[in-house]
Each structure stands twice: as structure tokens, then as C-alpha cells.
Structure 1
Amino acid sequence: MKSHPFEVTILGTHSILLPKPAVQPFIDKDQKRVRVVATFEGRNVEIYAALMKRHGNYYIMFSKNNQKALGIFPNDYFELQLFEDTTKYGVELSEEFEAVLFSDHEAYQAFESLTDGKKRGIIYMIARYKNSQTRIDKSLLLCENLKRGIRDPRLLLKSF
């Protein structure tokens, strides 16, 4: 499932008001998360976002980093297209984290016991590292800490 491309602009510092016709098919199927492709002057940014309802309208968040990557400024109009989120966790899992997680059943069970939001936060924690070896190292450390019972996100990437 996907929407037709549509034009939007940033409201405030980082939210985007979505047109109802683009969002309605996702709402009808009770899809609260979507994959978003933003396009501006030949640049694309792909993100995963939650459809948030405020005052009868639907919004997504579009961070300053995403705005910078796309090369947009306040009052610029750019194109968005929404797609069905087919990922298990609502965000892409890095190959490195997936391999480490699925090779350690105890860590996998600890990870699965977390709320969906904490799982996404952890996935983002690992994904922010650009180097593959760093992602592997951080994934191993994080899994060891999960097995120790550590659940505080601030402590998950610390050595003890």
C-alpha cells in the first residue's frame, strides 16, 4: 500500500501536516507507522514515522537532521510519499544488530520483552554508528547488558 506523492512543508520546527486523502487508507487499516520517502531537488530521504493525530489532523515528525539531509529550509515545499511499514519493529534493523541479536537467544528474548518504543530506540542507538565494525561491537555490548537485566537506555551501551 502506498499514497500518491503530495506536496508538504514543515510546520513549526519539525512536524508535517499530512493531507487526509493520503493518510486515510493507512488509518482504515489501523496502520500507525509508515515508511516515508521525502524528495526535494533530486535528493531523497527515507524515514519511518508514526502517524500522530492532533485536533482531527494527522502529522509526522521530520527532524532537523532529516531537513538538513534533504536540503530544505522553513517555508520550502517538498514532496512526500507514504508507504506501508512492513518491518517487524517499525524501523529497519541493521544487519549487524540482527546477526548479533539472533545469534544470542537470551539477548533476543530480553529484547523482545521490551516495549515497541524501547525496541525502536535501541535499533536507532545502533544504527547511528556509520562503521560496520562499530555497530557489531555496540550490538555485542548492548546484548550483554540486556542479559544482565539493564533496561535503562542510558546504560545499555556502557561497559561494566
Structure 2
Amino acid sequence: MSRRMVSEKFEVSISGTHGIVIPDSIAKPFEDGGHERIKATAWFEEDKIEFHAALKMYESKYMISFGKRYQKPLGVSLNDYFQLQIAEDDSKYGVEVPEEFSAVFDSDPQASEIFEALTDGKKRSLIYQVLRFRNSQTRIDKSIIISENLKLGITNPKELLKDRR
């Protein structure tokens, strides 16, 4: 069994409004190993967050997205320097799946089969749509709507969250 690839901690700051430049020496081994999806851990003062990201080449620099949804809980602003560590993402979808989403799809084999046939990006997009709700019941309701719409043959992400009941 191979060991999971993990970088050392390194110092970064926000580039532009929502990116982080990953040094070539850190990013290249991940790219060479075929690990475009990564899991990152960021530390700033007393705070720590973990998140999933895509390691992309942009204007000849390796970058990951680091939007307000990560900046705010970490407490960083554009001029702050903070610590980052990246690791190979070994999650099934490249994002943590909410318990409510899993429960709905585990209980509906037909919807689960349709979901599994979607592209990885579309799967992540749907999971992120459910993750943005904090209330557990809302997550359940949105997951049920998605599962029902998938069974109706709807795959357009903009249409999947519309309640047709």
C-alpha cells in the first residue's frame, strides 16, 4: 500500500482576490503523481481550516482557489501570510460529502446509480450545492429534490434544485 503524498507546511498569501500560488517545488510532485485534486490545511494565528481544491496551472503558476468561504473562517485578509500544507485528496468525490446527502442517496439505489454516472465535476457541484446549507433538514430536503430530479432525467445543475412536487 502506498503512502499518501503530503507536502511540508509552507508560507503563502492570497494572490489576487481568491487564489493561492503554490510553489513549483511543492506542486510539481503532485502534478507528476496525477493528483490534481488536493486536500489543503491552512493555519493562521489560532485558527485552522481544511478544504478540498483543484491544483491548476494559471499564467504559468500553480494555483488553488481560496475564496471568501475559506478566508473568512480562517480570519485572513489579502495582505496576511499564513501556513498551508497540501495532501493528495483520497476522498471519493474530491469533497467531503454531507451526511444528509449520503443518507438520501444510500436509501435510493436508482438515484444513486444515476448520480454515479455523472461526471466527477458534476457530482462535486451537486455536493457543494447541498453543503452550502447549514440546516440539516434543508440539506435533507435539497438532497431529496436532487435525487428525484435525477430520476426524472434532469441533469442540468440549475434545474436539479427546483422542487417539482
TM over 0.5: yes
Q: Which residue of 1 aligns with 2:31?
A: 27
Extract structure 1 runs of 4+ deviating beyond 3 A: none
User: Could you state the TM-score of these two structures normalised by the residue count of structure 1?
Assistant: 0.95
Segments of 5+ residues of structure 1 without an aligned counterpart are none
Query: Which position in structure 2 is the counterpart of 1:7?
Result: 11
Which runs of no fewer than 5 residues in structure 2 stay unpaired? Answer: none
Find the partner of 2:41 among 29, 37, 41: 37
Per the alignment, residue 106 of structure 1 pairs with: 110
Q: CA deviation at 1:37?
A: 0.7
* C-alpha RMSD over aligned residues: 1.1
Structure 2 counterpart SS, 1:158:
coil
Matched position secondary structure for 1:39: strand
Aligned to 1:142: 146
- Per-residue CA deviations over 1:103-157 (Å, capped at 9, x if unaligned) read 2111011111211111101001111111222211211111001100111212211
Match among 76, 84, 103 for residue 88 of structure 2: 84
Task: Specify the code of the residue in structure 2 equivalent to 1:8.
Answer: V
Q: Please name the residue that 2:67 is paired with.
A: 63
- Match 2:53 to one of 49, 64, 87: 49
Q: Distance in 2 between matches of 1:50 and 1:121?
A: 13
Equivalents in 2 of 1:110, 1:61: separation in Å? 29
Residue by residue over 1:67-94, the C-alpha shift from the partner in whole angstroms, topping out at 9 and shown as x without a partner, is 1111111111011000110111111111
Aligned-pair identity (%): 51
> What is the distance in 1 between the residues matched to 2:100 and 2:120?
20
Deviates more, 1:55-64 or 1:77-86: 55-64
CA distance in 1, matches of 2:131, 2:77: 26
The corresponding residue for 2:134 is 130
SS state at 1:155 partner:
helix
Following superposition, the deviation at residue 25 of structure 1 comes to 2.3
TM-superposed deviation, 1:56: 3.4
